[in-house]
Structure 1
């Protein structure tokens, strides 16, 4: 009986969803719980699994179309129906075959190709199920909104044995890096996704089975042979059987790259021309599979190349099929740095020329243009997500920013006095950020309206009972905001450790999906890049975000008890609070910033520092 696929309710207040992509097309087979389509709502982007196994017979809602919760998206025909249709088709063919035999000899010959094409999908079906060739290893969903992952390293190669739950490969997503264990014990028969290639969640990565499982697919093809035994044409069918085992043999695609090296080596006995001849084809392979408009490069590799200043179009890849890998970019950047150092080394021959050589080093660095100039490339998933959420934030809330100036001279003095002992005791550097974080958490406890969220549709506002503090981190892949849960329960040392830990794991792609959501207020330290202040955009559904400017020394008029008003150098910082004017009034924002300013300028953190 056909099964209807309906739009699920992806959130309490979600009433509709938009189909962003169909992972299966009409006529394709899908397994139960296999990802079928991607849906986007105002709360989350996620995959919808198939409720049953069968064939996708009809797509009701196309891509980029919106459907209400509970409405029909597609229809899947069950296994029994497909089996019945496929079983009845051969039966009808067998009944039809004996009748036309005396009528015309051409009709059986024309029917033979049909019979030969029919077994093809039958052999593919067991392969998908893993019963004939082995068990498929699929890309898991590593987080609620994760839809794809990049294979960074295979820990096993084709032909190697592996145990159950033994690490098989490493995968990187926009949220986490992790190892994928093998679901079964056996031998790696096929690797379908090479290193540095990206695959959707649910896509097959490899096939695990026994060494005899590969030829097992050949006997499966022999089943249609008895049906055509009376005729002389089945004899060519054993030939495809020999081609079938030949396909697993080149499955380690790496063999395709060494192949041209063996050929020229056998043609020319000298060892020197052999490496020089493959060099040219390697560059051509990279050009077709690597950078620029010639082929595809994973976002991870392209991002790294942009940071290192490596020109991908001139880079030879060592990956499968000549694909450029992450290590290729790192090696090229290291060689370029070594070449620059070697070129600059002979210049300062004499000691007096040291200053000139330093100047000459700096000059070309400024003149070098960015490799991103003149390039058009696809948005990464995290960049597209940031773009969408920032625009949505401005559209759904009334945002404005209030800025105050704070004298943090006392904190600067305390920090200089205690930072050496603090690092020795706690293992992390004492920066200004933990002071701002602690003062912010204390101010949020006194002004809960800034630590709230509003639901206009329900007509409610929630004043959160805990302070879950988001810390904006400038990671290589883009802006990520990990969250310090229950920040109000931590002291200065605890906040310092958590900030350092989250920032380090975020920049190294070690952060977990559950550590990114659930924040109630956010800090963004734009001053770490020298900015005096900015007007940050609120991270929905929060109602406030505090931007921390650079701490700079400048002359300020201060009131000295003995000398009166004098001009003195002070450590000053601008604090910019962007808030949602739908729930937070200007007076509320001013009171919050006033509490924050008083706490920071008071500088009473001696107890937290053990002074």
Structure 2
């Protein structure tokens, strides 16, 4: 945060210009901007003691103010409109809050601390912000690896070989779109209980992304394609065989849901849950690990906002789905009016092979997915 704009603190400059106070006149304090570290909580004492301390000469003639009992102007450090609004919402008097920001600026955390415990966050009570939750412990199977040398397992060998080959043999780059999935979040919250009872699986966000992707692949066959450098040919696939990246104890697997474009939202949800469970338990069939034409990887499963997926050749593209987070964004209504609203947002990074997909093609593909997700017309799929 930018420091509060301060002139030289008045209380420090006073000794250079000390003059005896006029008899029985109460000098009006100079219009001083606060030095946050010296601002005492008892600033309301405007009535002077019988022998007032000398203060610096103000720019204007001192005026007696025997009846003045309010806090002098500038007693509260500058605060942003957002912090003022927050203080108003929580009924916090900003003049009683001691800021912990640079230059004594009052921060959001100070207001929340005052609202929760009636304590001003600052001074000796200032503590680092508490973490959202306890840090996850190290997985036991990883903890025992410390200080050892191990043979690389088969899955890790394949991953190492294929990812390196992918980067060396394709022209990869990544384009990212930001998507508002608020409507989907609302539909999911409304339907997840009955959906789980009816379908036997939990309703996550991934089936919504998968449904939007397979529909977009049909509309953009140049993304659902493969480039053969030896034959100088591009194959545009007749079906959408969707790979789903799955994190297992042995490593990363990308089992394939064949003919995913023919499945409903509920069928995709069941297929994703089934194939992910069998991938983790070692129950995949050989044909479920081959034949994919496009892959989705849920990079937000551990909270990541975005990443740069690596292609699975001969596939031409892979989509990442970032963590869904609530934050304030500009919302435009049907009439074009703008407002600030709290929305559920996520990033969708698409890595694609530039040998057969241009940047504009990638943009059009992502735009189709974005429109489908933000429109959120999944009521019929959910039985709503």
TM-score range, shorter chain: 0.5 to 0.7
Look up the SS of the partner of 1:443 in the other structure. helix
Q: CA–CA distance in 2 between the matches of 1:465 and 1:363?
A: 47
Residues in 1 aligned to 2:308 and 2:191: alpha-carbon distance in whole angstroms: 32
Q: Which residue number corresponds to residue 426 of structure 1?
A: 199
Structure 1: gaps (5+ residues): 1-361
Q: 1:428 to 1:586 in 2, by over 3 A?
A: same
Give the one of 215, 218, 227 matched to 1:454. 227
Q: Secondary structure at the match of 1:505?
A: helix
Task: Show the 5 A alignment for 1:122-521.
Answer: 370-521=143-294
For residues 167 and 335 of structure 2, the distance between their equivalents in structure 1, rounded to whole angstroms, comes to 50
Identify the structure with bigger relative contact order (alpha carbons < 8 Å, sequence gap 6+): 2
3-state secondary structure, aligned to 2:234: strand
1:521 deviates by 0.3
Gaps of 5+ in 2: 1-133
**Equivalent in the alignment of 2:44:** none
Instruction: Give RMSD over aligned pairs.
Output: 2.0
Distance 1:554 1:382, change over 3 A: same
CA distance in 2, matches of 1:444, 1:573: 20
Tell me how far apart the structure 1 counterparts of residues 198 and 285 of structure 2 sit (CA, whole Å). Answer: 27
**Distance (Å, rounded) in 2 between the aligned partners of 1:517 and 1:584:** 22
What secondary structure sits across from 1:428 in the alignment? coil
Task: Pick from 331, 338, 348 the counterpart of residue 565 of structure 1.
Answer: 338
2:302 aligned with 1:529: yes
Question: Does the residue aligned with 1:405 lie in a helix, a strand or coil?
Answer: strand
| Equivalence for 1:579 | 352
SS for the counterpart of 1:450 is coil
The number of residue pairs the alignment matches comes to 250
* SS at structure 1 position matched to 2:175: strand
Q: C-alpha separation between the residues in 2 aligned to 1:586 and 1:365?
A: 41
Q: Which residue does the alignment assign to 2:312?
A: 539
- Residues in 1 aligned to 2:212 and 2:313: alpha-carbon distance in whole angstroms: 22
For residue 559 of structure 1, report the CA deviation from its aligned partner: 1.6
CA distance in 2, matches of 1:437, 1:407: 16
Matched, 1:602 2:371: no
The whole-number CA distance in structure 2 between the counterparts of 1:524 and 1:425 is 27
Q: Measure, in 2, the Cα distance between the counterparts of 1:589 and 1:519.
A: 19
Runs of 4+ in 1 over 3 A off after TM superposition: 362-366, 560-563
- Deviation at 1:376? 1.1
Per the TM alignment, residue 514 of structure 1 is displaced from its structure 2 partner at its CA by 1.4
TM-score of the pair, normalised by structure 2: 0.63
State TM-score, norm by structure 1: 0.40
Closer, same or farther in 2 for the Cα pair 1:365/1:437, shift >3 Å? closer
